Amino acid sequence: MRSATARVPRLWRPAMEKLARRSPRFFSDDRGRILSEEERAAENVYIQKMERERMEKLRRKAEKERLEAEKAKSEKKSEEPHKG
């Protein structure tokens, strides 16, 4: 059986090898084994969980910054002399 690179023209091989080194290896483990459907589903669930946690953390940070800005604005207003 011939390998996939044997079918690729010689001029393209270095570019393909470089691309293969840079691109992430989706749906495979660190040993290069292709993951089963169950493993892939578990990996997808894990990725989604991490993304949800990251988004929640960003949302809490934005909310905290908004509250701090409102507090600073209200303090600044209370320090200004009232014109009347």
The string of pLDDT tens digits covering residues 2-27 is 555 555 566 666 666 666 665 555 55
Question: How many whole angstroms from its chain centre is CA 63?
Answer: 21
Q: Measure the CA–CA gap between 36 and 27, rounded to whole angstroms.
A: 8
Give residue-wise pLDDT tens across range 45-65.
999 999 999 999 999 999 999
Amino acid found at 19: L
Q: Tell me which residue has tokens 């091989």.
A: 13
Residues pairing with 28 in the sheet = 34
Q: Measure the CA–CA gap between 62 and 70, rounded to whole angstroms.
A: 12
Helical spans, DSSP H, in 1-84: 13-22, 37-79
